[in-house]
Amino acid sequence: LECLMPPSIFNVSQTRLLDNEQGAQLEPQFRPALLVVDMQEDFCPPNGSLAVAGGRSITPLINTLLTSPLLVLRVATKDWHPPNHISFASNHQHSSPETSTCCPESIGTPAIPFVSTTTIHNPHNPSESYTTRLWPPHCIAGSPGAALIPELDVSKIDKILEKGTDPRVEMYSAFYDPFVSPRVSDSGLADMLREAKVTHVYVVGLAADYCVWSTAMDAHKEGFETVVVEEATRAVDEEAWRGVKERLVAEGKEGGIGVKV
Ligand code: VGL
Ligand code: ZN
């Protein structure tokens, strides 16, 4: 079983566990958590409205990682949007010529899968804004597409967090939305990790170039040593993943905290 563990988790944890057993430290120095991001039907072939190629194929590895006795916390996230969510192209019919071809009236399969972008303003502070990509409707709260895929061993999960529940903001990260002054949505994940005295955060799931990346950046920002287990992720766009991966690694170097991929 251990040989199946990616070296990034297996090697580090072996060393740290030994330190702890020798009682060298009063406070354990290696308390890893696993974050399983958005392993939902809508992100998986064959029927997902925003299917990521190979999305289902990483589940056996994730299930193996979930059995690691070293983990002090195992958290799964669900993208969980209301039907009027700001990230749905169908909710921006008039925002650009392209979007008008997408789902004219209600939720449905868009004529073209990925259309355009929109600028989102902080509802509490209109001067703060960001431009974000629009998507086909996906992970509508309570719908079959929002369900975790049945292959995932949810019996091992300690806590399931829903994110993206506020219709007014995009929220790729499992921690919070991109606004800072003030923040609009916070899942409480950072507090949960600190309460469990987590030191290391391992991120797996979908999609590498959006929610996994964004979650890893925030985990690092919150002071956790952060590792994306690349074998246990898949990207919407391989090219985009290569780009953001560089930023992850650079971030790790700058802060002196390892963001290993
Ligand atoms: C995601 C696009 C839109 C993700 C979520 O889970 O990576 N991507 N919403
Ligand atoms: Zn989403």
Residue 125 reports pLDDT greater than 50: yes
Question: What are 174's two structure tokens?
Answer: 């499992």
- For the stretch 131-149, pLDDT in tens is 999 999 999 999 999 999 9
- What separation in Å is there between the alpha carbon of 24 and the centre of ligand 2? 44
- For the stretch 190-225, pLDDT in tens is 999 999 999 999 999 999 999 999 999 999 999 999
Give the model's confidence band at 261: pLDDT under 50 very low, under 70 low, under 90 confident, else very high.
low
Residue 20 reports pLDDT greater than 90: no
Residue 110 reports pLDDT greater than 50: no
Positive or negative CA dihedral for 119, 219, 65, 188?
Answer: negative
How many CB atoms neighbour CB 129 within 10 A? 13
Q: Which atom of ligand 1 is nearest to the CA of 43?
A: 6
| Mean pLDDT of the region 59-68 | 95
What's residue 28's pLDDT?
55
Amino acid at 147: A
CB 55 within 8 A of CB 152: no
Q: In the predicted model, what is the mean pLDDT of the chain? A: 83
Q: Which atom of ligand 1 is nearest to the CA of 210?
A: 7
How many CB atoms neighbour CB 14 within 10 A? 13
- What separation in Å is there between the alpha carbon of 1 and the centre of ligand 2? 34
- Percent pLDDT > 70 in the chain is 77
Select from 85, 185, 211, 214 the residue to mutate for testing ligand 1; criterion: most ligand atoms less than 8 Å from CB: 211
What gap in Å lies between CA 247 and CA 242, rounded to an integer? Answer: 9
Burial of 217 (0-12, 13-18, 19+ CB in 10 A): buried
- What separation in Å is there between the alpha carbon of 150 and the centre of ligand 2? 20
CB 148 within 8 A of CB 76: yes
Residue 254 reports pLDDT greater than 90: no
Measuring CA to CA, which residue among 180, 192, 167 is closest to residue 77?
192
Question: What are 242's two structure tokens?
Answer: 């290569």
What gap in Å lies between CA 204 and CA 34, rounded to an integer? Answer: 8
Give the model's confidence band at 116: pLDDT under 50 very low, under 70 low, under 90 confident, else very high.
confident
Residues catalogued as catalytic: 38, 163, 211
How many CB atoms neighbour CB 163 within 10 A? 26
| Mean pLDDT of the region 64-88 | 96
Select from 50, 78, 85 the residue to mutate for testing ligand 1; criterion: most ligand atoms less than 8 Å from CB: 50
Residue 168 reports pLDDT greater than 60: yes
Amino acid at 6: P
**What is the 8-class DSSP label of residue 163?**
E
CB-defined site of ligand 1, < 6 Å? 38, 43, 79, 87, 135, 172, 206-207, 210-211
What's residue 170's pLDDT?
96
- What separation in Å is there between the alpha carbon of 69 and the centre of ligand 2? 31
3-class SS at 151?
A: coil
